[in-house]
Amino acid sequence: MATALIQRLEMISAARGAYLMFVQADTGPEDEPAIALYSKLGTREEVLHFDLPAESENGVA
C-alpha cells in the first residue's frame, strides 16, 4: 500500500511540474522498514539535517 501511495504521489508531482520528491527517515531501528521502502523506490542521499529553533517575539526560543 505504501508503494502504491508513493507512486501515485510521483504521478501527481510530475503533473504539477515537480522533478523530485524527497522524504526523511531517522537512523533508528524503528525506521528500518521506511528506509527499506525508500531504498527500493529511490536513491539514498547522505545529508545533514539541522533543527533550528524559531524565536519568539521577545527573542527567546
Give me the residue spans of the domains in the chain.
Answer: 2-41
State yes or no: pLDDT of 57 exceeds 80.
Answer: no
State yes or no: pLDDT of 59 exceeds 70.
Answer: no
3-state secondary structure of 43: coil
3-state secondary structure of 10: helix
CB of 10 closer than 8 Å to CB of 21: yes
CB of 24 closer than 8 Å to CB of 16: no
Better-scored residue on pLDDT, 58 or 7: 7
Closest CA to 5 of 18, 23, 17, 19: 23
Alpha helices in 1-61 (DSSP H): 2-15, 32-41
pLDDT at 61: 59
Q: What is the pLDDT of residues 1-43, one digit of tens each?
A: 999 999 999 999 999 999 999 999 999 999 999 999 999 999 9
